[in-house]
Amino acid sequence: MEEKEQVHKRRKRYSGTHPKTFAEKYKEQNPEKYQDTIEKVIRKGSTPAGMHISIMVKEILDVLKIQPGELGLDATLGYGGHTKAMLECLQGKGHIYALDVDPIESKKTKQRLEEKGYGEEILTIRQMNFANIAQLSEEVGKFDFVLADLGVSSMQIDNPERGFTYKAEGPLDLRLNPEQGTPAYERLNEVTEEELIGMLQENSDEPYAAEIAAKVTEWKRKKRPIHTTIDFKDVIEEALVFVPVKDRKEAVKKSCQRCFQALRIDVNSEFEVLYSFLDSLPEVLAPGARVAILTFHSGEDRLVKKALKQGKKQGIYSDISEEVTRPFAEECNRNPRARSTKLRWAIRA
């Protein structure tokens, strides 16, 4: 039987001179093939679609002081940039365990690192929530160094299908693991007005929490379910109509950032997960082990600061960072998503 010749389908051409949507940025999503495109995007101060630029790599390595032969943990694998830098420090001796709840991105990162020569003999990747580090340590032993980068990866933010950004239309999902839990639009449509006010205030210090919660309630009463990212953005815009016109665009932008953050924290139980991680941390560390934690908003940083200070007072940590370390201006110019980053560290007694 004669085989049918496979027809090659041309990629749909984007309108204009530059790709605008995530799907159109196919060159940026293929960094091995289009390195010149990647470098051009980074030079402009942007993050290529489908990529994540690791933040404060040198500062983290300075804190962790990784030696060949050590056992380490990257509690939040993401794109794998920090993991790769730590693996290089091991010089082929030792082992790193890396955790991520995102089944989509962790598979891609595993393949990416394997192609760079980091296979299972030196790197083990688990689809596991970093709240469960005590369970992992019981199995593999105590760690000599630990990194936790609490930020959401750019790959998740940029892909409209994941629902993390108000800048493009997609389902208002916001789950780090889209295979588990309740999507954000379901949570938003079931929450009471009082609960929503509390969520927006506690998770992101939203100053217009009451007005936005009232508008969400009004939409629900008028049988206008909020399902997409743009639906939620529209609600916020309607709620802030009282803001003077000259200030309104910036106010809407900031409130969108805060409200999406607050809803994401709620959907993924991020504060509860962080509490569990910080409570379990001392028992998974070998004597003299070093820890680096990157935070990206005040709520996270308060929890980390409090846990480390209490740990030092109780003699759990021999030393901690008294002040946060921030990225240099040069890094923030190259990667604007680094601007809100704070680094804290501790050394196990």
Same domain flag for 293 and 330? yes
* Closest by Cα among 130, 102, 118, 106 to 291: 130
Same domain flag for 147 and 294? yes
* Closest by Cα among 309, 328, 278 to 148: 278
Q: In whole angstroms, how far apart are CA 27 and each of 53, 79, 81?
A: 16, 17, 20
pLDDT of 17 reads 55
Domain closes at, from 223, 240, 267 = 267
For residue 257, give the CATH number of its domain: 1.10.150.170
Condensed to tens digits (0 to 9), the pLDDT of residues 268-316 reads: 999 999 999 999 999 999 999 999 999 988 889 999 999 999 999 999 9
> How many helices and strands, by DSSP H and E, does the chain display?
14, 7
Condensed to tens digits (0 to 9), the pLDDT of residues 40-68 reads: 554 554 555 445 588 999 999 999 999 99
Show Cβ contacts of residue 184 under 8 Å, excluding neighbours closer than 6 positions.
Answer: 163, 172, 173, 174, 175, 263, 264, 266, 267
Give residue 113's domain range: 57-154+271-348
Same domain flag for 286 and 323? yes
Backbone phi, then psi, for 228, in 5-degree steps?
A: -115, 170
SS3 288: strand
Same domain flag for 323 and 258? no
pTM greater than 0.75: yes
Mean predicted lDDT score pLDDT of the chain:
87
Same domain flag for 150 and 61? yes
Sign of CA dihedral 254, 258, 259, 261: positive
* Closest by Cα among 49, 261, 232 to 156: 49
Return the higher-pLDDT residue of 14 and 251. Answer: 251
Same domain flag for 206 and 77? no
The angle, 0 to 180 degrees and rounded to 10, between the axes of the packed helices 133-140 and 270-284 is 30
Assigned domain for 203 exists: yes
Backbone phi, then psi, for 340, in 5-degree steps?
A: -90, 5
- Burial environment of residue 193 by CB neighbours within 10 A (0 to 12, 13 to 18, 19 or more): middle
Return the higher-pLDDT residue of 164 and 284. Answer: 284
Assigned domain for 334 exists: yes
Outline where 116-166 has alpha helix (H): 133-140, 154-158
Assigned domain for 33 exists: no
Same domain flag for 150 and 289? yes
Domain closes at, from 216, 250, 267 = 267
pLDDT of 192 reads 96
Condensed to tens digits (0 to 9), the pLDDT of residues 119-158 reads: 999 999 999 999 999 999 999 999 999 999 987 776 667 7
The whole-number average pLDDT for the span 200-208 is 95
Instruction: Quote the CA–CA distance of 89 and 87 in Å, as a whole number.
Output: 5
pLDDT of 7 reads 47
- Burial environment of residue 82 by CB neighbours within 10 A (0 to 12, 13 to 18, 19 or more): buried
Other CB atoms closer than 10 Å to residue 219's CB: what's the count? Answer: 19
